[in-house]
Amino acid sequence: MTPIVNAARGLLDQAAVVGQHTDIIAVAWLVGSIIVFGLLSYRVYMHMFLAK
C-alpha cells in the first residue's frame, strides 16, 4: 500500500513528490491486482452461476 499512498500524495502535493518510480510501482500493483482479481472474481461468479 505504501507506493500507492506515496503516489497519491505526490500527485496532490507536488512538493512531496516521492519519485516517478513510485507512481509506476503503484500503477503496476493496481493493474496487476485488477487483472488477477478480476479474473478470479469472474471465475468464482461463473462457477457459482454454472453450478446451478
Partner 1 sequence: MKTIKQLGVLTGRIIRQNLTNADTIITVIAMPMFMLLFFVYVMGGNIVTGNGNGASAYLRYALPGFLLLTMAMGSAYTSMRINFDRTSGFLDRLHSLPISRWVILGSHVLASVIFMLIAEALVFLVGVAMGYRTDATLGSAFMFLGLSVLFGLGITLLAVPFSLKADNYASAGGFSYVLLMLLFVSSASCLLKEWRNPSKFLRTTNQ
Residues of this chain that interact with partner 1 (CB under 8 A) are 1-9, 11-16, 23, 26-27, 29-31, 33-34, 37-38, 40-42, 44-46, 48-49, 52
Residue number, 19 or 40, with CB nearest to partner 1: 40
Nearer to partner 1, 16 or 19 (CB): 16
Tell me which amino acid residue 29 is: W
Shortest CB 47 distance to partner 1, Å:
9
Cα–Cα–Cα angle for 9, 12, 17, rounded to 5 degrees = 55
R_g of the chain computed on alpha carbons: 16
Give the number of other CB atoms < 10 A from CB of residue 26: 21
